[in-house]
Structure 1
Amino acid sequence: MRDVDYEKIEKAVTMILEAIGEDPEREGLIDTPSRVAKMYAEVFEGLNKDPKDYFKTVFNENHDEVVLVKDIPFHSMCEHHLVPFFGHAHVAYIPRDGVVAGLSKLARAVETTARRPQLQERITSTVADAMMEMLNPIGVYVVIEAEHMCMTMRGIKKPGAKTVTTVARGIYEHDDVKRAEILSLIKMD
């Protein structure tokens, strides 16, 4: 992957400030291009990572029932408008032959996938597909709920509206009972 070109980002931000009629030399804006470049390096650091890497280390635990990590907070940047969206992910799987991943790896996969210009639908499917490929579970179910600033700040201007995306793989694609079980576990407080 390519390294972040801080200088190019700084020049682009300076040009944007000028294009909207601002003075990039104004006291409050002097360091803004540099701050934005550093922020972009941080919020897009997932471009240089593969969520599958988190599932290379597994454990054998003789566990063959649902594993669910819910309410994983995340933030990302809408690739259409480069404004944030944020929310929670719920990631579940049923291990095959007792093969389990560390619980933090599910959250890390969400975080890495979210830290790039992104679509919510793609985060949902990328996490599920990485788990299917690397863990070979009986099934994976991923639910993401997020608020998109592109719907809050502009366009329709509906703050508080949430988008929910789901991806079912393996047994969850066709087993309504298993799917209902996951959804009830996600709703539990």
Structure 2
Amino acid sequence: MKELFAQIIEKMGEDLARPGLVDTPDRAAKAYEFLTSGYNSTIEDVVNDALFPSDCNDMVIVRDIELFSMCEHHMLPFIGKAHVGYIPKGKVLGLSKVARIIDMYARRLQIQEQLTHQVAETILNVTGAAGVAVIIEAKHLCMMMRGVEKQGSSMKTSAMLGCFRNSPATRAEFLSLIES
């Protein structure tokens, strides 16, 4: 990647010998390796047996989970937060694992709609929950810095699975709790 970044910088008309750019190809390659590190993770590695027996069958919510990802269309960041809720059926997921699952998928070239569904489906599959709800709200630099250049815009996506899709009362409870 380092050599490819050097080529891109040169194609822009820049001088790679300029002091500020001498190490930029290496730094950019390392940055992109980190920003796309989700490709090197599996759900088994992320969850790491942090699934615990529990009699809890009440809604579990983790909100305001910060995230960043890279738009697969322009390779520019989108930055925001996720809110996740699930209703356990005999097992609960370690708290940090919810955030780690989000990071695993977010650190890939991605669209927000897909990210939202990947997180919801994964948590449902891992926990066997009665239902999972995920809402992601993010600002997309591909829309803010280029194209229509709307800096105040944001996008909100949701995935409602199981009882969150089938029960308006469950969905309404989740939505009211993430707003409080």
Assess if the C-alpha contact under 8 Å between 1:52 and 1:109 holds in 2.
no
2:120 to 116, 128, 137: 128
Q: 1:104-143 alignment to 2 at 5 Å? A: 104-143=96-135
1:153 to 135, 145, 170: 145
Partner of 2:54: 61
1:160 Cα deviation from its structure 2 partner: 2.4
Amino acid paired to 1:42? F
- C-alpha distance in 2, partners of 1:105/1:154? 35
Provide the TM-score with structure 2 as the length reference. 0.95
- C-alpha distance in 2, partners of 1:36/1:124? 27
Q: How many residues align?
A: 179
1:175 counterpart = 2:132: no
1:94 to 87, 91, 97: 87
Assess if the C-alpha contact under 8 Å between 1:52 and 1:130 holds in 2.
no
1:171 Cα deviation from its structure 2 partner: 0.8
Please say which of residues 43-52 and 80-89 is displaced more in the overlay. 43-52
Partner of 2:31: 39
Please say which of residues 18-27 and 47-56 is displaced more in the overlay. 47-56
Amino acid paired to 2:59? V
Assess if the C-alpha contact under 8 Å between 1:94 and 1:140 holds in 2.
yes
Note closer, same or farther for the CA distance 1:91–1:53 as it changes in structure 2 (3 Å cut): farther
Note closer, same or farther for the CA distance 1:168–1:50 as it changes in structure 2 (3 Å cut): same
Could you tell me which runs of 5 or more consecutive residues in structure 2 were left unpaired when the two chains were aligned: none
Percent of matched pairs sharing the same residue: 43
1:54-85: CA deviations, max 9, x gaps? 44431122100000000000111111111111
SS in 2 for 1:80: coil
SS in 2 for 1:86: strand
* C-alpha RMSD of the superposition: 1.2
1:135 Cα deviation from its structure 2 partner: 0.8
Provide the TM-score with structure 1 as the length reference. 0.91
- C-alpha distance in 1, partners of 2:45/2:159? 20
